[in-house]
Structure 1
C-alpha cells in the first residue's frame, strides 16, 4: 500500500502488510518521486528518483534506483540502494 501527498514537496511512504498484519514502511522516511513498478506474492519493486543539486522539483535527474523488498516470514528485507541523504 502507498500513502502519497502532493504539493511542492511531494512524498510517498510504502507500507507493508501480510495476513492482515502491518509490518512497517519500506523506509524510515518518505521519499518523493517514488513509483511501485511491480509485485509478486512475496516481492515488491519500488523505483526511487531524486532531484540533483540544480534540478527543478518537477524534473528530478537523480536515479533511478530500484529497491526490491522481499517478504521473509513476518519481516521485509530490502535489496537495492535508496536515494542519497540530503
Structure 2
C-alpha cells in the first residue's frame, strides 16, 4: 500500500481518501515529541504505534521515536532503511499535528539524529563526510538543520548539506 494511502487510512480519511490521495512529497516535513504508544491524540493525531506503521510502510525501521508527539505542531520519527546491513541510509519522517507530511529530504542521509524540538520546530543533526571517508567514520563534523512549520508545510530554516560523495562535507 502506498505511504499516502496508509497515512489517509490511519488519519481517518478512509479508503476513498486513501485512493484519492496523491503520493506524499519526499521533501516536505511535519510534527514533534512523545505520546501514548496505543491511543490516538486528543487532537486526532496518530498514536505512536500508528505513526510507526507509517514509517514501516515506507520501507524504514523506526530507530528513534522520542521526537514524536501528536499534540505538537511539528514532530519527527527517525528511521533506517529496513534492508540495511550497516545502519545506512536514514530518514526523518515529519508529522504535523500527528499526521505524516513528508521526509526531511528527497534523498536519504547516511546518519541523522534528533537533537531537540519546540512546539513548531524540530532540530536534526547530520553527520558529514569528506570524499575519502568510509561510511563508518565521518570526519567533516556535523550540521544542525532546523525544520519549522510555516502554516502550510514543514520547511528547513537552515541549509541542508549536499549528498554528493565528492562534496567537501556531505551527508551522503
Q: Could you state the TM-score of these two structures normalised by the residue count of structure 2?
A: 0.45
Aligned runs of 1:65-76 on 2, under 5 Å? 65-76=143-154
Check if 1:46 corresponds to 2:124.
yes
Gaps of 5+ in 1: none
- Cα separation, partners in 2 of 1:33 and 1:20, compared to 1, 3 Å: closer
CA distance in 1, matches of 2:157, 2:141: 16
CA deviation map 1:20-50 (0-9, x unaligned): 3221111111101211111111111011113
Task: Select the residue among 47, 55, 63 that pairs with 2:133.
Answer: 55
CA distance in 2, matches of 1:79, 1:26: 12
CA deviation map 1:46-84 (0-9, x unaligned): 111132122122110123111000112241110222222
Aligned runs of 1:9-20 on 2, under 5 Å? 10-20=88-98
Q: How many residues align?
A: 86
Gaps of 5+ in 2: 1-76, 165-172
Output the aligned Cα RMSD: 1.8
What's the secondary structure of 1:62's corresponding residue? coil
Decide whether the 8 Å contact of 1:17 with 1:23 is kept in 2.
Answer: yes
Q: In terms of mean alpha carbon deviation, does 18-27 or 29-38 score higher? A: 18-27
Task: Select the residue among 15, 36, 56 that pairs with 2:114.
Answer: 36
Structure exhibiting the larger radius of gyration computed from Cα positions: 2
